[in-house]
Structure 1
C-alpha cells in the first residue's frame, strides 16, 4: 500500500527511482520501455544531489521567491496571504503597532471560524466589522461570513501555478493547484505586511510517488489518512516539502487531489506541491483564470531526500480514531476486532486525559459486535468540496438516514459550490434523505459546530480529531469522540443506520464531474480593495478588541517558575490554548490568556499569575525606588546571586516557563504562544518542537525556545524555579548552549539548555521582548 524510502535518491523523468546515476544503461532500458527518450552522459554532468535538488518543483518555486543571497537561508516573499476571523484582528493590530500603512500584497480576510455570532453576544460580529474596515483602510479583500471557508476561497480565487501563499491557518495547502501554501502564526504574516521576509533554512524535499488508481468507495481522506499513519510518528516529513508526482496523479480529479493535499498538514510537513496537467488547466479555465496555469514537473533528473511510494489501488477505507489523525486503522480491521482496538484507544486516551475517567465509554459503542456511531459531519476545506458532497447525495438518493439517534450534517465549502450543488439537484437529494445542510463554516473542525452529546461518537470528513476539537470538556466530566473518515464511508454508515461501514461494501454510483463556477456571488459580496487603500478610513473597534499589552525587553537575568510540566509524547496547540468556545475572545489578549492550558493543566494560569504579580511589584518598585519588599527579598535569598540585592532586582525579571516533550502540533494560531507571554512567560523548554510554526510563534512573542537532552528532563519539577543569569548577554553573544539552575527549595542543580538554529534577527526579536518591540525599535533608529 505505502512504502517509505528514507534515504535520498533520484527521480528520473518523473518515473524511475534510483539511488545513484551510475547505472545509465539499465536506466535507459527502463526509459525505452516507458517510451521515454534516453539520458546521455551530458544530462548527468555535475548532477550531484545539491544540484539535482534544484530540479524539484519545490526548489524551482522557492528559488523564484527567494529575495536573499542564495545561501542556505531562504528569504521568501509571498504572492498573497490569507487569514480568518480567529487570527486577522491580532495580526492587523500587531502590524499597525509596528508601522503598517497599507497591505503590500493581496491579503484576504475571511470569516469562516467565528461566524456563529450567537456565541459571546456581539463579540464575533464586532471582529467582522473590524475586518471590513481594515480591508478598506489598508487595501485588502474581505469575504463575509458564510460565503466561503478560507481555503476554498483561496483555491477558487487566489491560487496560481508557481505561486506561494502564506496563511495564518495551519491547513494553508494548495499544492494540487500548483501553489505552495504555508501555514504560520500571525507574526510571520505581520513580517510580510511590513515588507520583511519569511526566513527558513533550505528545506528537504520528500517525493510522494503515486501509482495505480483508487478503488470505488475509496476517497481522498482514505489516501491522506493512510499516508499520515505511515509518516507522522517518525517525523519522516517534519518541516519538509512533500512533492507529489507519478502516474497515479492522472487518475485523480482535482477535488480528490485537493482533499489529499489539505491533509498533508497533519504529517507536520512544511508545505506541498503537485505536478500539474490538463485537469489543473481545466480547473483554472472553469474558474475564469486560465492564465494562472502552467505546467509544473520535476526536471529530467531530480534529487529527493526520501520517497513515499503509494499504490492507490491498494488503499482501503480508513478511520483515524481519537485523538489524532495519525491514529489510523482500516475500517475493516476495526470491524473485525472492535473490542481490542477501542479498548486500546480508551487506555491511550486515559493516559492523555489524566483528569477524566474514560474507561468503557468508547467500547460501549460496540453493539452486537459492530461499532455504532451517533453522528456524521462533512465540512470545511477537506470534506466540503463539490465532488464529495455530490457523491454522498448520489449514495443517499432514495435512501434515508433514519429517525434514530444518528444524525448527518453537510457544510459546502463555499457559496459557489453550494449553488452548483443546488442547480444539479444534489442538495435536494441530501435533504430528502434527512441530511441537514448548512453554510460554509469551519466550526466542526475546531469544536464550534455540531457538537455531539456527552460520550457521543462522531465520524467526520474534517481535518482534525484532537481532544476537545468536538467541543467536549473532559475536565468537567464531559467527553465526546471523533473519528476521521472519508465522505463515502460516512454515507455508507448513514445508509446502514449508523453502523460503521466502509464504502467499498456498497455500490458507489457515478457522479457527473461537470462543474460550473459562478463567480457572481463573490463579485456581489466580497470587498476587493487590494491596491485601493483608504488611509482616512477609521478602524471600527468593538468592546472586546484590545491592544496587546506592553512587553519589556529581555532583562540581564531571568528567574522563571516552572508553571507547567507536560509529559505527553506530543502536545497540541489545542491543549496550549483550547479552540471552540474560547474563539470569541481571540481579539482580547488578556481575556483569552485566562484559558491557557485550562483543560490540560487547570492550575497553570494561577501559577503564572502569581509569579507575574511579583514581577509587577518589581516594576512598580523600580519606578518609586522602594525595593524593600519581602516578595523580592525572598526570591533574592532563594537564588543567592553573587551581586548585591538592589542591582539584582534591577536586572532580573520574574516570570514563568512551561515544559512539554514535544509542543506545538496542530494549529498555526499564534495565541498558543502569545497567551503564555501575556501571563509573563519568557521561555518554553522541550525535547523538540512539533512544528516550525509553533517554535516561530514562541520566538516572535519574545520567548526563548529552549531544548534539552532527554537525560536532563528529570531535573525539571513543576513549581521549581529556573534561574538564568546573564541570559541577555549570552543570547546576544550567539551562544547555542547555556547553563541554567533549577532551584527547588534548598536543592539546586545545573541544567544544560540549548538555543540552536536562531538567526540574528530571531535573537534580536527575543532581546527586544517581542516582534512588536523589534519593529517599533527599528522605526525609531
Structure 2
C-alpha cells in the first residue's frame, strides 16, 4: 500500500538496516538534533504521535510548529495545539461496518449525480472488517449449539452478508474476515496488528508505528501490543478511510504506575476492574493513559490487552503499553513473520520506543499508582463497569442494591415455582452466566483457568444450577484449539459451557432468549434476576431485557456463579455445593493455582495454532463462499430489503453547501439525566414488537421470530431511526415516572413515542433539541447515536459534558453540541418540556469553542437567555458542520478534484 509522506523540513528521514533489509524511517533522534531538544522522557504514546507528524509534515496540514508543540508539551505536560493525525489503517466490525459500507455505496451514487468519478470513493487506507457481532445465543448448553447458531446467523443475515461480499469485491484496500473466525479485537491482536507497519514510498520501504482507528470503542485492546489505536464513530472512520486526517488536540497523558506482583488467586480481570474504578474516579476522559513501572514485568501481553481493552470503560482515549521484551515474545509466540519481529525490535530501539530495564520513566500530565499485590478478586455491577465490588462483599452489596437501587425492601426471599420445572426462582438468581468475547477471551490464563476450575468442580460433584443459561463464545478459533488440546473443553461442556459461536454475544445483548418458563416467572413476579458475564459492558437493558442486575467478572467467576446460581450467596465464603459424601465444597477448593494455570498456558498455547488458524483467514466457511455477488462498482439497492437501504444523507446535495443558520423555535424532544450512554441513544439489542421499529417490520411482513437485532439491521436507516432513544431503560424527565422511549408532543402535551413525536415535528418543520446531564454519550462509539439523532430532526444537544467519541460524531453528522457553563445544569432551568429554544450566533462568526447565547421561551411567554459553550472544538470540525457533516465535506472535496 503506497503511503504519502511530507516535506521533511527537519530532514529526519534515515535508513534502518535489519538483517539483509533496509528501511527508511523518520527518526525522532534526528528531530532532537534538528532543534526539538531532548525528547527521551516524552511518553511513548506521544512519541508515536510525533513520528506521525514528522512523516506527514508538509507545511500545510502538518507544520514545523506542530512538531515544536510536541516538544513544548514535554515542558508544559499539556497543550491546546490541534494536530492532523493519520492512522495507518482502519478496523471495523460488522455492526458498525455495514452502515459504513452503506455510506460508501451511497457516496458513490452521490458522486455520480455530482458528475464525479465513482472510483474516487475508495478506502485510501487499508481497512479490515471482521464479522463478529451478528451471532446470537439462541442455542446453548448442547453439543450442536455452535452449528445451530451459525445456521441461524446466515439465515438471518443473508442480505447483510451479501452486501459485505459485494463491498469486498467493489472497494480497493478493503478486506473482510468472514463470520465464525473471532472478534475483531482478538483477530487484530493475534494476526492483523504488526506493532511496526511498513509501506512503499516510491521504491523505498518505509517503517513506521502500527496505528489505527476502529469503529468499535474497544479497539484499544491492541494498545497492549504497543499499537496506538482507539475507537471512533463510523463517520470518523469513513473519513479516515477516504484520506482525511483526524483532527485532535495534543492529549494530556496520565501515567499509571504499576508495581508489585499479583497475589495468588487474582486474575487480569480483577486488575482491569480495579484500574477502571481508579481511572473513572481520577477522570481521564479525552486523555491518553499510559502504563509504566516495574509492575509491567509481571503482565503478559494478554494481561496488558485485558487492561487496554476497557479504556472506554475508564473513559480514556487509549490505555497504552510500550514495546518491550514481552511484546517481542508474544509476536513470536503468535506466529508472526520472523523478519517483522526483528524489525519491531530494531525499530523500537532506534526510535526510543523500547522499554528496557534501564529506561527512565516518562514525564506525564498526571500520575497514579497501583500495587498489584493489593488487587483482590472482584466483580463490577450491577449497572456500571466502574462499579467494582470485592468478591468478599459482593453478596452484601447486592442485598443493599436490592433495597436502595431496585426498591425491593419487602418479600426479597420470596420464590415462585417455575412452570414445567422441578425448581423455583427468586430475586438474585443468576439466569445468564456467559464467558463472552472481548475483554477476557484473548487471555489464555483466564480461559484455561475457567476450564481447570470446571474440571475441579466436576471432580467434587458440583453442577450448574438448572435456571442458569450458560454459554462460551471464544474470541478466536485459537482459543478453541488450546481449550480442546488441554482437555478442559470437555469439562466446560459438562457444566453447560459449550461453544455457541465466535463473536461478541452476551456483552452486546446477543444473549438470545431465556426459556419461556424462566421469562414468565421473572415477569410475573417482577424478580430482580442477574447475569454474570466476562465482558466489559453491563449497562441497563444491554445484556438482556429481563436481567436488571448485570455483573462483569472473570471467566473463572462466571463458572463459579453458574454453580452458585444466586447473587445473594457469598461465593467467597459460603459453600457452592456439596460433594458426594455431603461435605461442603468452597470456591477455594476448586480454584486452580497460578502455577498450574501458567504451566497449562505454556504447554498448550503454541505458535503452530496461530499459523494454522490464520493461514487462510479471509476465505471463510462453505456458507460464506456460497454467497454470490456481481462485480458492479455501484450497489443495486433492493427497495424490498429490510436490512440494507439507501440512506437519505446526500439527497438534494449540491457541490456548494447552503449557508448555515441559527436554530429558531426549537422544541424539546427529551430531557435526560447523567451518563446517558450511546446504548440509551442508539438502537441495540432486541427489537420490541410494539415499538416503532417493530411496527415497521410488521408492516413489511417480517415475522416477529425473524426480527433479528437492531445491530443486524444497522444498514436500514428506517429501522434505526425508529429505535433511536427507544432503550427500555431510558428515562425522559419530560414524562416523569416512566421508562422507555416516550415523550410529550407540544404544545398539547400528548404522550407518544419519541419517533412518532419527532415525525410530527418534522412534518411541521419544527427543529428539536435534547437537554442532558453529565457525560452525555458515555460508552461505545455507536455512529447511529449521532445518525439517528439527526434523522429525528435534532439540531442541537445541550449537556453538562460529553464523552469524546459521541461529541465528535454529533459534529460529524451536523448536530450542534452545546455545553452548559459555570456549573449550570438542567435543574437550574426548571424545564418541563413546554419551552421553545432559540440558538443564536451560529449563522455568523461560528468559531471553535465559542460562547453561544440560547434563549428559552416558556409557555407563559417569559424568556431567559443563557450562555453555553459551543463544543465544535477544531477548525476542521467547523468545516464539517458547515457542510452538513464530515461525509458531505469529503464528498464535495472529491467531486471538486474530479
Shorter-chain TM-score above 0.5 = yes
Give the aligned partner of residue 50 of structure 2.
Answer: 63
Question: 2:135, 2:153 within 8 Å by CA — same for their partners in 1?
Answer: no
CA deviations 1:474-524 (Å, max 9, x no partner) are: xxxx55321111122223334546545246675424122231233334433
How do residues 67-146 of structure 1 correspond to structure 2 at under 5 angstroms? 67=56, 68-69=62-63, 70=66, 71=69, 72-98=81-107, 100-116=120-136, 124-139=157-172, 140-146=174-180
Question: 1:414, 1:439 within 8 Å by CA — same for their partners in 2?
Answer: no
Q: Choose from 693, 701, 718 the match for 2:813.
A: 701
Q: Choose from 566, 571, 583 the match for 1:501.
A: 571
SS at match of 1:302: coil
Distance 1:309 1:596, change over 3 A: same
Q: Choose from 441, 459, 462 the match for 1:384.
A: 441
CA distance, structure 2, for counterparts of residue 249 and residue 302 of structure 1: 14
Question: 2:836, 2:857 within 8 Å by CA — same for their partners in 1?
Answer: yes
Distance 1:320 1:536, change over 3 A: same
Give the aligned partner of residue 800 of structure 2.
Answer: 687
Give the aligned partner of residue 744 of structure 1.
Answer: 858
Give 1:336 shift.
Answer: 5.1
CA deviations 1:351-373 (Å, max 9, x no partner) are: xxxxxxx6669887999999753
Give 1:693 shift.
Answer: 0.5
Distance 1:388 1:755, change over 3 A: same
Give 1:563 shift.
Answer: 3.0
CA deviations 1:642-680 (Å, max 9, x no partner) are: xxxxxxxxxxxx311111112111010110111010111
- Choose 457-466 or 410-419, whichever is displaced more: 410-419
CA distance, structure 2, for counterparts of residue 361 and residue 378 of structure 1: 32
CA distance, structure 1, for counterparts of residue 563 and residue 264 of structure 2: 17
Distance 1:712 1:206, change over 3 A: closer
Distance 1:134 1:765, change over 3 A: same
Where do 5+ consecutive residues of structure 2 fail to align? 1-31, 57-61, 70-80, 109-119, 137-149, 196-208, 417-423, 523-527, 573-586, 621-629, 687-709, 733-740, 744-751
SS at match of 1:664: coil
Is the counterpart of residue 413 in structure 1 residue 475 in structure 2? yes
Distance 1:505 1:316, change over 3 A: farther
Give the aligned partner of residue 650 of structure 1.
Answer: none
Is the counterpart of residue 467 in structure 1 residue 606 in structure 2? no
Distance 1:771 1:275, change over 3 A: closer
How do residues 608-627 of structure 1 correspond to structure 2 at under 5 angstroms? 610=757, 613=760, 615-616=762-763
Q: Choose from 205, 218, 222 the match for 1:171.
A: 218
CA distance, structure 2, for counterparts of residue 363 and residue 105 of structure 1: 58
CA distance, structure 1, for counterparts of residue 676 and residue 465 of structure 2: 39
Distance 1:146 1:780, change over 3 A: closer
CA deviations 1:671-718 (Å, max 9, x no partner) are: 0111010111111111110x2100010000001111112336333442
- Choose 758-767 or 66-75, whichever is displaced more: 66-75
Give 1:741 shift.
Answer: 1.4
Q: CA RMSD in A?
A: 3.3
Give 1:182 shift.
Answer: 0.5
SS at match of 2:363: strand
Q: Choose from 304, 307, 310 the match for 2:367.
A: 307
Question: 1:135, 1:141 within 8 Å by CA — same for their partners in 2?
Answer: yes
SS at match of 1:266: helix
Q: Choose from 551, 554, 576 the match for 1:486.
A: 554
CA deviations 1:435-486 (Å, max 9, x no partner) are: 23222120211111255544431111101100111120xxxxx553211111
How do residues 309-348 of structure 1 correspond to structure 2 at under 5 angstroms? 309-335=369-395, 338-346=398-406
Question: 1:176, 1:276 within 8 Å by CA — same for their partners in 2?
Answer: no
Give the aligned partner of residue 424 of structure 1.
Answer: 486
CA deviations 1:141-170 (Å, max 9, x no partner) are: 211112111101111112232421210011
Where do 5+ consecutive residues of structure 1 fail to align? 1-44, 348-357, 473-477, 529-533, 619-653
Q: Choose from 690, 706, 712 the match for 1:584.
A: 712
Question: 2:799, 2:820 within 8 Å by CA — same for their partners in 1?
Answer: yes
Give the aligned partner of residue 22 of structure 1.
Answer: none
CA deviations 1:326-348 (Å, max 9, x no partner) are: 1111111234565335433435x
Give the aligned partner of residue 280 of structure 1.
Answer: 327
Q: Choose from 226, 238, 250 the match for 2:285.
A: 238
CA deviations 1:374-409 (Å, max 9, x no partner) are: 332111111323332211111111514335323432
CA distance, structure 2, for counterparts of residue 446 and residue 538 of structure 1: 32
SS at match of 1:153: helix
Is the counterpart of residue 549 in structure 1 residue 648 in structure 2? yes
* Number of residue pairs matched by the alignment: 678
| TM-score, reference length from structure 2 | 0.70
| TM-score, reference length from structure 1 | 0.80
Is the counterpart of residue 513 in structure 1 residue 522 in structure 2? no
CA distance, structure 1, for counterparts of residue 772 and residue 863 of structure 2: 21
SS at match of 2:616: helix
Question: 1:563, 1:608 within 8 Å by CA — same for their partners in 2?
Answer: no
CA distance, structure 2, for counterparts of residue 658 and residue 359 of structure 1: 35
Distance 1:208 1:325, change over 3 A: same
Question: 2:392, 2:570 within 8 Å by CA — same for their partners in 1?
Answer: no
Is the counterpart of residue 148 in structure 1 residue 247 in structure 2? no
Give 1:598 shift.
Answer: 1.7
Distance 1:415 1:437, change over 3 A: same
CA distance, structure 1, for counterparts of residue 482 and residue 389 of structure 2: 34
Distance 1:697 1:608, change over 3 A: same
CA distance, structure 2, for counterparts of residue 240 and residue 519 of structure 1: 36
